């Protein structure tokens, strides 16, 4: 039992990089997940197959089962940290860490980190800008909801992620249709059912950004470190699917200062005392309005963009924090190096993917390509994306300037359009 072990729970999206960060720090990664090995993210599966990471399959949505498995692991290894690998396990990891006597978020605060209604209440009480909102079920009276938040309104599951069932409505009829859709077709995402409990908010207009960072220290000595501000690109409303991100955001010093101030107040109000955070906000004439705050790494490859531009390794920062290891004296470059962005693939009109291999080949040839993936198969129908699961691939790119990045992303967009040009028959 000489080797120290770090448990990474449900590593998905950006969380898959945590497994490699654990190894880089000279620790042994152990993965808990509800999925069989063959369904884990490719990088995680590779680490397990190579023998330098371990794996236990357990039902992550069953807290008692996770704690039992965690205690068993702690009895067999020198377990030093429990790190959340995805949004849905932030609360699970807090309770597991408490049960094992390890560093973690306080279980008393995690409800407000997973329930958007509680989150908005905590933020509002701390004077952080949030939209007027109300909690409701799928049987709610549309007129009563509109009386509370007005129109347009935005509806979303209180504990969802990835833009799933996030919708703008502009009338009572649209709201009624939305509630019926959620009621009749609930989404199951990673074993979690979304939709029974919803949040309605007053629509907030303005460009959207996210702020990436980490916390260090404890109590009155807690320090909130901002690493980057990410410019978010959203698909057309009434849905809010994220189709791209750019680091560093092209905003003024004053706007950045407003976002940073909001982050400091929001992180402290929500009790985030360990690990990394990802705050999403819209800039309005009245200042930033927070959409939500995640006590975890930002998804959609954002940590890769932060690393390309600022040199910060957010995965190692997270692991160090949860393992109680000191953070490096220098975390980022003194100035950003160029720009980096990610584009997720969607189409405006239905079509069929002609040759995904050819598309991938063209994407990989784009100068500055960090990685690219096409998930649609040859002949597969592709549609306008409405959430993270309906996008059909991505490309991450770095460039020496924002202008060069924009040109390279535009080229990727053109390649995607050229690869999807066979119309799907109407009504198909």
Q: At 8, which CATH number?
A: 3.40.50.20
Give residue 148's pLDDT: 98
Of 286, 320, 337, the residue that ends a domain is 337
Q: Are residues 210 and 331 in the same domain?
A: yes
Give residue 189's pLDDT: 79
Q: Are 186 and 165 in contact (CB under 8 A)?
A: no
Give residue 191's pLDDT: 81
Residues of the chain below pLDDT 70: 1-2, 422-428
pLDDT tens digits for 161-200? 888 899 999 999 999 999 999 999 988 877 878 878 999 9
Q: Is residue 110 part of a domain?
A: no
Q: How far apart are CA 243 and CA 235, in angstroms?
A: 6
Say whether 212 sits in a helix, a strand or coil: strand
Of 163, 187, 202, the residue that ends a domain is 202
Q: Is residue 256 part of a domain?
A: yes
Of 171, 202, 233, the residue that ends a domain is 202
Q: Are residues 308 and 362 in the same domain?
A: no
Q: How far apart are CA 131 and CA 155, in angstroms?
A: 12
* Residue 368 belongs to domain with CATH number: 3.90.1170.30
pLDDT tens digits for 45-64? 999 999 999 999 999 999 99
Q: Are residues 213 and 305 in the same domain?
A: yes
Say whether 283 sits in a helix, a strand or coil: strand
List the domain range (segments joined by +) for residue 21: 4-102
Q: Is residue 140 part of a domain?
A: yes
Give residue 427's pLDDT: 53
> Of 327, 324, 323, whose CA–CA distance to 314 is shortest?
327
Q: Is residue 310 part of a domain?
A: yes
30-55 burial, b if ≥16 CB within 10 A, otherwise e?
bbbbbbeeeebbeebbebbeeeebbb
* Residue 140 belongs to domain with CATH number: 3.30.1490.20
Q: Is residue 70 part of a domain?
A: yes
Q: Are residues 188 and 305 in the same domain?
A: no
Give residue 278's pLDDT: 98
367-403 burial, b if ≥16 CB within 10 A, otherwise e?
ebebebebebeeeeebeebbbbebbbbbbbbbbeebe
Looking at the structure of the chain, the number of domains it has is: 4
List helix spans (H) across 233-279: 253-269
Query: Which residues lie below 8 Å from residue 37, measured CB to CB, with a gap of 6+?
Result: 45, 48, 49, 55, 57
Query: Which residues lie below 8 Å from residue 262, measured CB to CB, with a gap of 6+?
Result: 128, 129, 211, 279, 281, 287, 288, 290
One-letter-per-residue 3-state SS of 311-378 = CCCHHHHHHHHHHCCCCCCCCCCCCCCCEEEEEECCCCCCEEECCHHHHHHHHHCCCCEEEEEECCCC
């Amino acid at each position: 039992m000489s080797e120290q072990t770090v448990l990474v729970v449900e590593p998905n999206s950006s969380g898959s990089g945590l497994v490699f960060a654990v190894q880089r720090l000279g620790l042994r990664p152990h993965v808990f997940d509800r999925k069989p090995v063959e369904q884990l993210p490719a990088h995680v599966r590779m680490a397990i197959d190579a023998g330098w990471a371990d794996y236990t399959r357990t039902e992550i949505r069953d807290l008692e089962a996770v704690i039992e498995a965690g205690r068993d692991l702690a009895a067999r290894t020198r377990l030093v940290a429990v790190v959340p690998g995805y949004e849905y396990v932030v609360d699970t990891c807090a309770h597991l860490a408490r049960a094992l006597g390890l560093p973690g978020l306080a279980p008393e605060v995690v409800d407000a980190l997973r329930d958007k209604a509680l989150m908005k209440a905590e933020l509002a009480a701390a004077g952080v800008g949030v939209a007027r909102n109300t909690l409701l079920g799928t049987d709610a009276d549309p007129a009563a909801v509109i009386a509370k938040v007005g129109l347009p309104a935005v509806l979303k599951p209180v504990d969802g992620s990835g833009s799933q069932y996030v919708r703008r409505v502009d009338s009572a009829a649209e709201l009624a249709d939305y509630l019926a859709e959620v009621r009749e077709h609930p989404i199951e995402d990673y074993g979690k059912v979304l939709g029974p409990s919803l949040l309605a908010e007053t629509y907030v207009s303005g460009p959207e950004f996210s702020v990436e960072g980490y916390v260090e220290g404890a109590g009155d000595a807690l320090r909130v470190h901002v690493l980057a501000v990410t410019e978010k690109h959203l698909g057309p409303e009434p849905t809010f699917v994220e189709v791209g991100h750019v680091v560093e955001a092209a905003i003024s010093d004053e706007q950045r200062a407003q976002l940073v101030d909001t982050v400091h107040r929001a992180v402290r109000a929500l009790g985030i005392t360990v690990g990394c955070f990802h705050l999403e906000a819209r800039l309005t004439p009245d200042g930033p309005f927070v959409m939500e705050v995640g006590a975890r790494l930002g998804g959609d490859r954002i940590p890769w963009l932060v690393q390309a531009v600022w040199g910060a390794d957010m995965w190692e920062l997270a692991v160090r924090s949860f393992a109680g290891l000191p953070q490096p004296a220098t975390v980022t470059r003194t100035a950003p190096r160029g720009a980096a962005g990610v584009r997720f693939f969607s189409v405006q009109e239905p079509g069929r993917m002609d040759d995904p291999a050819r598309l991938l080949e063209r994407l990989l040839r784009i100068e500055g390509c960090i990685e690219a993936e096409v998930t649609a198969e040859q002949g597969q129908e592709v549609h306008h994306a409405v959430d993270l699961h309906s996008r059909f691939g991505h490309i991450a790119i770095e460039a020496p300037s924002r202008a060069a990045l924009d040109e390279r992303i535009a080229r990727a967009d053109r390649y995607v359009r050229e690869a999807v040009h066979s119309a799907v028959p109407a009504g198909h």
